[in-house]
Structure 1
Amino acid sequence: MGKKVYVVRHCEAAGQPSESPLTGRGIQQAKELAGFFEDVKVDRIISSPFVRAIQSIEPTAEQKGIKLETDQRLSERVLSTLDLTDWLDRLKAAFDDLDLKIEGGESSREAMNRAVSVLEDVLQCEAENTVIVSHGNLIALLLKYYQPDFGFEQWKNLSNPDVFLLKIDQNNKVSVERLWRS
């Protein structure tokens, strides 16, 4: 028997800062997400500490009666601390060159390794079915680690929310499937 990890991108938020809450539409999406997980076995839920991520999964955690854990490693990737007018071009470049590092930010490889370390910890715990909640860029890099052709274009096509299933077999082989259809 293998493990299942549901990777969830947060619902629609009012902004990018860590304290940005969900919008009214995002709150409704969080309820829809709880409906999505209603018949899914979930043993553990781990979220980014950002408000929008926590609010996205709270209805699911309440419905399941599961304590919501937060993990700083699931925080959004910082591309740069500069106000980049060409941030989209820089982000695309960072998908092409995983070691590209822009002032004040972390490289794609650093962010990817941070996300993968969470998954590796999940594989060591007893829970068989875990939900992790994070942000678009970090999720895209996590998926790219297991599916190398996942890149900038796939990141652009992520929705809020979004759900991917990572199935991990006994040999730690990981398969990736997108489950959410917005």
Structure 2
Amino acid sequence: MNKTIYIIRHCEAEGQAPDAPLTEKGKEQAEKLAAFLYDKKVDRIISSPFLRAIQTVEPLAEENNLKIKVDNRLRERVLSSASMPDWMTKLEATYKDLDLKYEGGESSNEATGRIVEAVNEIRESDADNSIIVAHGGIISLLLYYYDKNAGFEAWRKLSNPDVYALQISDDNYQLERLWTEE
């Protein structure tokens, strides 16, 4: 079994709400992303249900005549339902204590569990080359799952968009950042 999963962070968006669309710059980035991935063989595309994630991959899906499957497990992680002016410090703490959970939010372990479950389903599928489109918080947890050197600083360094390739075989995996800043 050799699988490649392209992990894509969405392009620039107008906000953080689930229905926040891409900005004009984000739409241009989505076109550039489609061109960037043009020569990659893609069997399926799976996206977060958030509008900005779907819009990020629409040009690529259209070029490859692929449907976008929506998977709620790829939605952004909820840190807390309460307003936290010091949210960055609180977020960093969740990379040190993976079970730390704030009011109305998910722990790092809970959020990691759902995205890893989605990735494991992809590993078991017939598709050899898949794309998942998600958000910085949840993607950084997936990167940390595979590379313990990733974490809070990796989250801070993610760009919009960003692309990683996760190559998985029966007994090995390799994670590589493919996207370079514009």
| Category of TM-score, reference length = shorter chain | over 0.9
Cα distance, 1:175 vs. partner? 1.2
Pairing 1:63-102 to 2, within 5 Å after superposition: 63-102=63-102
Q: Partner letter of residue 79 of structure 1? A: L
| Corresponding residue for residue 162 of structure 1 | 162
Residue in structure 2 matched with residue 50 of structure 1 by the alignment: 50
Gaps of 5+ in 2: none
CA distance in 2, matches of 1:35, 1:102: 40
What is the one-letter code of the residue matched to 1:180?
A: W
Counterpart Cα distance in 2 of 1:70 and 1:81:
24
Q: What are the residue-to-residue correspondences of 1:19-58 with 2, within 5 Å? A: 19-58=19-58
Residue of structure 1 in register with 2:143 after alignment: 143
Q: Counterparts of 2:169 and 2:117 in 1: how far apart (Å)? A: 18
- Measured after TM superposition, the shift of residue 44 of structure 1 is 0.4
1:32 is paired with a residue of what secondary structure? helix
Tell me the secondary structure at the aligned position of residue 166 of structure 2.
strand
User: Structure 1 segments of 4 or more deviating over 6 A?
Assistant: none
Name the residue aligned to 1:181.
Answer: 180
> Secondary structure of the residue that 1:181 maps to in structure 2?
coil
- Taking only aligned residues, the RMSD between alpha carbons, in angstroms, comes to 0.7
Aligned counterparts of 2:96 and 2:39: Cα–Cα separation in 1: 38
TM-score norm. by structure 1 comes to 0.98
Distance in 1 of aligned mates of 2:107 and 2:180: 30
C-alpha deviation, 1:170, in angstroms: 2.6
C-alpha distance in 1, partners of 2:176/2:11? 19
| Alpha-carbon distance in 1 for matches of 2:160, 2:108 | 21
Amino acid at match of 2:122: V
- For structure 1, the 5+ residue unaligned runs are none
Counterpart of 1:168, as a letter, is I
1:155 aligns to what SS in structure 2? helix
Between the aligned partners of 1:138 and 1:112, the Cα distance in structure 2 is 7
What is the aligned residue count?
Answer: 181
Q: Distance in 2 between matches of 1:133 and 1:141?
A: 14
Q: Which amino acid aligns with 2:6?
A: Y
- What TM-score, normalized to structure 2? 0.98
- Give the Cα–Cα distance (whole angstroms) in 2 for the partners of residues 151 and 120 of structure 1: 21
User: Cα distance, 1:148 vs. partner?
Assistant: 1.1
Q: Structure 1 CA distance, aligned partners of 2:154 and 2:139?
A: 11
- Partner Cα distance (2:146, 2:38) in 1: 27
Q: What is the deviation of 1:169?
A: 1.2
For 2:152 and 2:9, the matched residues in 1 are separated by 16
